[in-house]
Chain A
Amino acid sequence: EDKVVQSPLSLVVHEGDTVTLNCSYEVTNFRSLLWYKQEKKAPTFLFMLTSSGIEKKSGRLSSILDKKELFSILNITATQTGDSAIYLCAVGTGTASKLTFGTGTRLQVTL
């Protein structure tokens, strides 16, 4: 059975801090690893990673994949209160890229 594990489950930080969210996986027929941000409604897409060692960056967010060690990290620098959300890691497998989601990391950024 495909498995995606995220840590920590929840995190409270002060505005301006840097955070690192972790995602490890055990799946068959890996295609991609995706990060999503979920606030009140449905997840919004952040990054899609398919190759090891290549960092993807968008503003204060960045992510990298290690396919040998089967994990990914999502970094957020200079956090803001608007970064408060649940961050979901999902692994796509098979030709249909079916996604298996982790339980998410609930991030709260306080003033």
Chain B
Amino acid sequence: GAVVSQHPSWVICKSGTSVKIECRSLDFQATTMFWYRQFPKQSLMLMATSNEGSKATYEQGVEKDKFLINHASLTLSTLTVTSAHPEDSSFYICSAQPTGGGNQPQHFGDGTRLSIL
């Protein structure tokens, strides 16, 4: 149980392209999903908290117009990296928290490796 699917797993694209990453909870509902970024040999840094049916909450220093988040249903959140540039290249990971409150662990997707040329 508690499977989170993230797609695509790997993207290579040209500078200036917009890239959409999907995060789905397959066997549970998630009112809240989270988006993280991980640089090589570093830990996960929270970018934003995505709440179903409302605007995402972004962490300090994360540009909301650059990283667009949509959480239109209880099982799907998307992150769109707009006009991506080489410095946006990173490993992006989503997590989903089962609906029912904060006393349940977040479950992570397998991540998306984004490479901008």
Contact = CB atoms under 8 A, between A and B. Distances in A.
Interface of A: 31-32, 34, 36, 41-45, 48, 50, 88, 90, 92, 94-104
Q: Is the interface of B mostly helix, strand, loop or mixed?
A: strand
A27 to B, nearest CB: 13
A90 B102 CA distance: 14
Contacts of A96: 32, 49, 57, 102
Contact of A88 (B43, B45, B107): B43
B46 A98 contact: yes
A48 B93 CA distance: 20
A101 B43 CA distance: 7
5 cross-chain pairs, A with B, having the tightest CB-CB distances, nearest first: A97-B102, A42-B108, A41-B110, A101-B43, A101-B44
Contacts, number: 60
Given A42-B93, A98-B34, 4 more contacts: A36-B108, A42-B109, A95-B102, A97-B102
Nearest to B110: A41
Given A96-B49, A96-B102, A99-B34, A41 B43 contact: no
Contact of B105 (A48, A100, A101): A48
Interface of B: 2, 6, 32, 34, 42-46, 49, 57, 93, 95, 97, 102-111
A1 B93 CA distance: 22
Given A41-B111, A98-B34, A103 B105 contact: no
A95 to B, nearest CB: 6
Contacts of B93: 42-43
